[in-house]
Chain A
């Protein structure tokens, strides 16, 4: 089996627990992401999603294990891995446009000033920020607009891997919907590989090619990898009518509500902890899709 574009191998994170012992957040987590894939990771708070993201971003060091991208080991932050933080992380003393050119200049240092600005404006326009708005400071923008700027900054840099850390967590439901659509649009036009943390099941189904499910921590593991068998382009109003939608959704709800607890706290025993691949497809002939929600799971080991 060929190596995936991004390969996470036996990743382990332990923290001191404050009483002289160690707290294992997760151990020997092993999974891969293909080029151009949009992967969401779902799990309860404290299961280590953000830790995995920080390791992928190079902002944190794992206790052991490696992350390989394109065959090379990842160490430290890099422009090849763009990050959209939950709290936008725009620089408040710079205008919207300058926040994007800041990133573009870092990525393409030999571009002329005019080219940098044109490129930044192009990406701001993709998320619906045009005209005088680009000269406003982040404090003069709404939360939704700020996150759009942050997304534009990340996409404008053409990173090989884009990491989104709960990008819509702080937004109201309506704004969230609009920006999800914009994210899909901008992603559709690129070959961008995306890894996203979210708490929102519907958001994950709408956006992702594959959803990774994490059990509760400590000793959390990436237990399942659920393929979203709904064809693109997807639309939030039509997607719910697809026969697979509720089957997948029920599976996710059931996992997060119950099985994430049951599967938690099992030490790896030194073995690779790979997620079980799950594909739910109700469009297939009916004998493969009985009523029992556990039965239609087609478990395939990688």
Chain B
């Protein structure tokens, strides 16, 4: 029977088995709360009957997920908003910072990739600024910008700019000289060469950089929102931790993973669209 299944079917079956087994082990590993009748009198007197905080079993997380996802956009005050609203805020911040970064990184990357002088002039700055943890910018950003919302966007901007910049420069510099010669023998203007030859030739490398950037931006937004507070999925996780609502914490961790996966998949589609075989 296994011979009739394709590789994909086998893999899907195995994934489901791993999920189910994992969830069962998790469910079984959580010690059940003792019922009040089973307690000795001493235990009851010392507060043993009160519910203990513990890691919730998957069944509770699923119940929470159902509750949250069935009404994702409710808004019941500053500390009680639906998961959809929180994720929406996070995505808005990520995309704003990300597109600002793209608007700077891609033209600058073109310049650096086309010109040896620009490459050598910019390189020391890039090498020093790139390894800085984006969160290290946060205090400075808060002081200068004086706005927590804009500071979070700035942090996203600064963390997504480097992979895009470096990949664009790398892609542009690596365009085959033959293709540039084709443009030259067809008397294309520099602008036309950039758009009709260099951009399509470097597009796969540029999109790879953009894909890395969106992944990093999504990693960083959670930490940034924990610091900045107010709204967003990062703030939500921290808020639920303060509420000692671990079910919500686990649920939001999963949601962070799912949204990150969707963002990555979107760039995967884009990457396939611009890919070419030589």
A79 touches B185 (CB 8 A): yes
**Given A137-B277, A139-B278: A106 touches B181 (CB 8 Å cut-off):** no
In the complex, A180 has a CB within 8 A of chain B: no
* A82:B185 contact, CB within 8 angstroms: yes
- Collect the chain A residues with CB atoms within 8 Å of residue B165's CB: none
- Establish whether residues A79 and B186, one from each chain, have CB atoms under 8 Å apart when the complex forms: yes
| Residue from the set A76, A77, A82 with the largest chain B CB neighbour count within 10 Å | A77
A89 touches B277 (CB 8 A): no
User: How does the 8 Å CB contact mask read for B97-108 relative to A, with 1 for contact and 0 for none?
Assistant: 000000000000
B276→A57 contact, CB < 8 A: no
- A91 proximity list for chain B (CB < 8 A): 179, 182, 197, 200-201
B184 at the interface (CB under 8 A from A): yes
Are A59 and B200 in contact, with the CB atoms below 8 A?
no
* Complex contacts, B178 vs chain A, CB 8 Å: 85, 87, 89
The answer to the question of B15 belonging to the interface, with a C-beta cut-off of 8 Å to chain A, is: no
Q: Is there contact, CB below 8 Å, between B181 and A89?
A: yes
Q: How far is the CA of A81 from the CA of B196 in the complex (A)?
A: 21
Is A81 within 8 A of B277, CB to CB? no
Question: Which of B182, B184, B188, B201 contacts A93 (CB under 8 A)?
Answer: B201
Tell me which residues across on chain A come within 8 A of B203, comparing CB atoms.
93
Interface residue B187 (Cβ < 8 Å from any Cβ of A) = yes
Dominant SS among interface residues on chain A: loop
Q: Which residues of A contact B186 (CB under 8 A)?
A: 79, 102-103, 106-107, 157
Asked if A254 is at the interface of the complex by the 8 Å CB criterion, the answer is no
Contact present for B277 and A92 (CB under 8 Å):
yes
Interface 0/1 of A93-128, CB less than 8 Å to B:
100000000110011000000000000000000000
Residue on A with the closest CB to B204? A93
Type the 1/0 row for A25-54, where 1 means its CB is closer than 8 Å to any CB of B: 000000000000000000000000000000
* Bound CA–CA A22/B203 (angstroms): 40
* Complex interface: chain B residues within 8 A of A77 (CB): 181, 184-185, 187
- Which B residues lie within 8 Å of A268 (CB)? none
* A-chain residues with CB within 8 Å of residue B196 when the two chains form the complex: 102
Within the complex, what minimum Cβ distance (angstroms) separates A240 from chain B? 36
Closest to A54 in B: B181
* In the bound complex, CA of A139 to CA of B277 (Å): 6
Q: Which of A192-233 contact B (CB under 8 A)?
A: none
Min Cβ gap B203→A in Å is 8
A contacts with B, residue count (CB < 8 A): 23
- Which residues of A are found within 8 Å of B179, using beta-carbon distances? 89, 91
Question: CA–CA, A57 to B184, complex, Å?
Answer: 10
Contact yes or no, B185 A57, CB < 8 A: yes
State whether the Cβ of A63 lies closer than 8 Å to any Cβ in chain B. no
Distance, CA A260 to CA B197, complexed state (A): 41
Q: Which residue of A lies closest to B178 (CB)?
A: A89
Decide if A78 is an interface residue (CB 8 Å cutoff): yes
Q: How far is the CA of A157 from the CA of B182 in the complex (A)?
A: 13
Of A82, A83, A87, which is in contact with the most chain B CB atoms at under 10 Å from its CB?
A83
B-side contacts of A107, CB under 8 Å: 186
Contact of A139 among B182, B188, B274, B276 (CB under 8 A): B276
Closest to B277 in A: A139
Q: Are A85 and B278 within 8 A (Cβ)?
A: no
Contact residues, B159-187 vs A (CB, 8 A): 178-179, 181-182, 184-187
In A138-160, the 8 Å CB interface with B consists of 139, 157
How far, in whole Å, are A57 and B201 apart by their CA atoms in the complex? 23
Residue of A59, A79, A93 contacting most chain B CB atoms (<10 Å)? A93
B248 to chain A, nearest CB (A): 47
A92: which of B187, B188, B278 is its contact (CB, 8 Å)? B278
A105 nearest CB neighbor, chain B only? B186
Residues in B with CB closer than 8 Å to A58 are: 184-185
Give the residue of A59, A82, A106, A137 whose beta carbon is less than 8 angstroms from that of B188.
A106
Q: A79 CA to B189 CA in the complex, in Å?
A: 12
- A interface with B by C-beta (< 8 Å): 57-59, 76-79, 81-83, 85, 87, 89, 91-93, 102-103, 106-107, 137, 139, 157
The 4 closest A-B pairs by CB, nearest first: A139-B277, A106-B186, A93-B276, A89-B178
| Interface positions of B (Cβ within 8 A of A) | 178-179, 181-182, 184-188, 196-197, 200-201, 203, 274, 276-278
Q: List 17 A-B contacts (CB under 8 A).
A: A57-B185, A58-B185, A59-B184, A77-B181, A77-B184, A77-B185, A79-B185, A82-B185, A85-B182, A91-B182, A91-B200, A91-B201, A92-B277, A93-B200, A106-B188, A137-B276, A157-B186
Apart from A82-B185, A89-B178: 17 A-B pairs, beta carbons within 8 A: A57-B181, A57-B185, A59-B184, A76-B184, A77-B181, A79-B185, A85-B181, A89-B181, A89-B182, A91-B179, A92-B276, A93-B200, A107-B186, A137-B276, A139-B277, A139-B278, A157-B186
